[in-house]
Amino acid sequence: MGGRMHTKSDSEVTSNSMEQSSPARSPPRRPLYYVQSPSNHDVEKMSYGSSPMGSPHHHFHYLSSPIHHSRESSTSRFSASLKNPRNFSSNWKKLHPHPQHDADHDDDADDGDDLDRSSRNLRLYFCFFLLFLMLFTLFSVILWGASKSYKPRLIVKSMVFENLNVQSGNDGSGVPTDMLSLNSTVRIVYRNPATFFGVHVTSTPLQLSYYQLAIASGQMRKFYQSRKSERKLRVVVLGHQIPLYGGVSVLGNTKEHLESVALPLNLTFTVRSRAFILGRLVKSKFYRRVRCSVTLHGNKLGKPLNLTDSCVYK
């Protein structure tokens, strides 16, 4: 009986070690680990009169089952944590992480998801914009190409010389020379065959010349021609007191007999047509250069001259 009185269970030993090693104010006990004392059969195998903590020369190993080993290791870890409060608190922190840290981690994950989502949306919007730009460009090119098949038509119908006058005079610097005055009218038909756009029409001055010498000119007023329509134009071409300087030898000897004059002239001008198909985003331009050969007969003043077959269009 005396020997059995000195025998202590593991729970008593752990309790005594806690009382001896714990400071005055020990940390609160938390049910983290559960310690189970060995069975009576294991206690009987231990040497009487000595405790497991007091006899370092005797080592007992529970080899019967892995459960005993896990119990012993958990008991030793719990005892060590009780001896050192800092290790106990650190283990407690590891087992129970701070909830604020988890919340921050969740917020970071949410922020990462939001960034990925916004990046995907940005790429999607950019792809849509690029697709729209490509389709719009293709549509504009198709419209521009289709508009080229609707070139405006221009026909110079006739020209009338109302009067012709040649007399002696002085130019601006006082040099004496023959002076020519001419008045004529040109009739033009302009047609826009386009089915889906109108055109804005302008023209260079209509110039009437004798070889390289310009003797008359006129200006066509700009206008707008709607789709599938035509317009008849009347342009006045005149010259007033144009110095000849002997350049028109045909008129030099016939100032008094103008009825017998036959003066070859050229009428030249360029018509510019601009089409705005999609506002000002798609523009189509057309140029029409006209050159007409006409002969002024002094005995046909006031009579229209047919120029339908006398003009070249480029």
Percent of the chain past pLDDT 90, that is, above it, reads 37
Compute the mean pLDDT over every residue in the chain, rounded to the nearest whole number: 75
Percent of the chain past pLDDT 70, that is, above it, reads 62
Cα atoms in the Cβ-side hemisphere of radius 13 Å centred on 126: 6
pLDDT of residue 181: 92
CA-CA-CA-CA torsion sign (158, 163, 165, 170) = negative
> In the 8-state DSSP scheme, what is residue 195?
S
Q: Are 305 and 263 in contact (CB under 8 A)?
A: no
pLDDT of residue 88: 47
Is the pLDDT at 168 greater than 50, yes or no? yes
Q: Are 275 and 201 in contact (CB under 8 A)?
A: no
pLDDT of residue 50: 44
pLDDT of residue 251: 73
Name 283's Cβ contacts closer than 8 Å, sequence gap at least 6.
Answer: 274, 275, 276, 277
pLDDT of residue 234: 96
Q: Are 312 and 290 in contact (CB under 8 A)?
A: yes
| d(C-alpha 304, C-alpha 168), whole Å | 28
pLDDT of residue 174: 84
Is the pLDDT at 293 greater than 80, yes or no? yes
pLDDT of residue 308: 92
Mean pLDDT of all residues in 31-53: 49
Mean pLDDT of all residues in 79-96: 50
pLDDT of residue 190: 97
pTM: 0.59
pLDDT of residue 253: 60
| d(C-alpha 299, C-alpha 84), whole Å | 135
pLDDT of residue 65: 45
Q: Are 307 and 158 in contact (CB under 8 A)?
A: yes
Question: Of the segments 7-11, 188-192, 258-262, which one has the largest average pLDDT value?
Answer: 188-192
* First CA to last CA distance, the chain: 137
Q: In Å, how far are 80, 195, 215, 269 from 76, measured between CA atoms?
A: 6, 99, 125, 113
**Judging by DSSP bridges, how do beta strands 223-225 and 262-276 pair with one another?**
unpaired
Mean pLDDT of all residues in 107-136: 81
Mean pLDDT of all residues in 157-178: 88
Q: Are 255 and 206 in contact (CB under 8 A)?
A: no
pLDDT of residue 117: 82
Q: How confident is the model at residue 67 (pLDDT cuts 50, 70, 90)?
A: very low
pLDDT of residue 113: 72
Mean pLDDT of all residues in 243-253: 75
Question: Of the segments 127-136, 175-184, 284-293, which one has the largest average pLDDT value?
Answer: 284-293
Radius of gyration of the chain (CA): 57
Mean pLDDT of all residues in 55-75: 45
Which region among 22-26, 36-40, 196-200, 248-252 has the lowest average model confidence (pLDDT)? 22-26
Q: Which two tokens stand for residue 66?
A: 């892995």
Residue with the bigger pLDDT between 248 and 265: it is 265
Is the pLDDT at 136 greater than 60, yes or no? yes
